[in-house]
Structure 1
Amino acid sequence: MLARANDATLLAARLLLAAALLPTGIARALNVSGFALTLAGAGMPFPNAVATTAVVVQVFGPLAIILGVLPRLTGLALALFAAATACVLHAFWQFTGPALVAERTLMLADLGLAGGYLLYAMTGPGAWSWQGWRMGAPAPRAKPASKSSAKSGGGRRAPQVRAA
């Protein structure tokens, strides 16, 4: 029962982590050139290459997380992406007043997201994933016999056969 709850929690966490980037990634994929123009206007070097890389990471990274494919590589790549995004797009030290507070909050949120991706990279996706299926996640075990049936045998228990 505890294993099922753990796998369900890991699946929910994967879906939430993917939801943080996938909608933006899809929107940017539908207008990569517009995203590149935005980056160029902000002074980003090589805006076309950066825009294309960001779209690939923001679309395929969350899909890999949802499926549970290559968790260490995916988690580390998305953690680096989120940390880089935090530092490049939310340089709060360049602002004053309410803008400083807003940018600092966004930067800390992106850094927290990077931490979530690192946790995913270290814990893995769980049994309810492509990796779990590929590794042959164990089937749920049968319930043990009730105590009353074990006592009826004169205090001796019948030998239990364990499935391989």
Structure 2
Amino acid sequence: MTGRTQDGALLLARLLLAAALLPTGIARALNVSGFALTLAGTGLPAPNLLATAAVMVQVFGPLALILGVLPRITGLMLAVFAVVMAVLLHPFWQFSGPTAVAERTLMLADLGLAGGFLMVAMTGPGAWSWQGWRQGARAQAKPASARTTTPKSAARPKRPAGRASTRAAA
């Protein structure tokens, strides 16, 4: 795959993964207390604190993912978030019949998202991201003379083995 094609595919993947979380994160941000009630229904301690933290991750994580800011940390954080939320919000083992099937499907979808986030964490965001732009800016900031000079050890010719230096002989 060429560099531009790979960078485009990584950007598309980041956009699609972010699209899976960002709308829900915004909706939960507009009704944090309702989300806290949902978490309280699962028996979690401090549901208000957890709801606020989850909303922050679910809004700022996808934004960081889209931009490519700290992609490895962001990908790992979102993968852990997706797994934890899948287990907490979709306990299919507690249900039977069609409800269990629906909850299992939602849990597997969340686990699939976690896999996508792990892939982003392992591959990086590509050149079409904040990190790619910064790496390109650093490469251009180096002076041309620094990139073309050879190290001093490579510029000096090596003595043939077994031959003593003139200083050692004197």
TM-score above 0.5, yes or no: yes
Amino acid at match of 1:117: F
Residue in 2 that maps onto 1:113: 113
Higher helix share: 2
Q: Deviations over 1:98-148 (max 9, x none)?
A: 111111111111111000000000000000000000000789xxxxxxxxx
Give the aligned partner of residue 146 of structure 1.
none
The equivalent residue for 2:104 is: 104
TM-score of the superposition, structure 1-length normalised?
0.81
Distance in structure 2 (CA, Å) of the matches to 1:42 and 1:50: 12
Stretch moving more, 130-139 or 21-30: 130-139
Runs of 4+ in 1 over 3 A off after TM superposition: none
Q: Which runs of 5+ in 2 are unaligned?
A: 141-147, 149-170
Counterpart in 1 of 2:160? none
Task: Give the equivalent residue in structure 2 for 1:158.
Answer: none
Note the C-alpha offset of 1:41: 3.1
1:60 aligned partner: 60
Paired amino acid for 1:64: A
Which amino acid is the alignment partner of residue 59 of structure 1? V
TM-score normalized by structure 2? 0.78
* Higher Rg: 2
**Unaligned ranges ≥5, structure 1:** 140-163
The alpha-carbon deviation at position 33 of structure 1 amounts to: 1.8
User: Counterpart of 2:57 in 1: which secondary structure?
Assistant: helix
Secondary structure of 1:96's partner? Answer: coil
1:50 offset after TM fit, Å? Answer: 0.6
Alpha carbon RMSD of aligned pairs, Å? 1.9
Residues 26-72 of structure 1: per-residue CA shift (max 9 Å, x gap): 11111212221232233221101110010000000000000000011
Q: Please tell me the residue identity of whatever aligns with 1:7.
A: D
Which aligned pairs between 1:8-19 and structure 2 lie closer than 5 A? 8-19=8-19
d(CA) in 2 for partners of 1:101, 1:120: 29
Which residue of the partner structure matches residue 151 of structure 1? Answer: none
* CA distance, structure 2, for counterparts of residue 85 and residue 43 of structure 1: 14
Q: Which residue of 1 aligns with 2:87?
A: 87
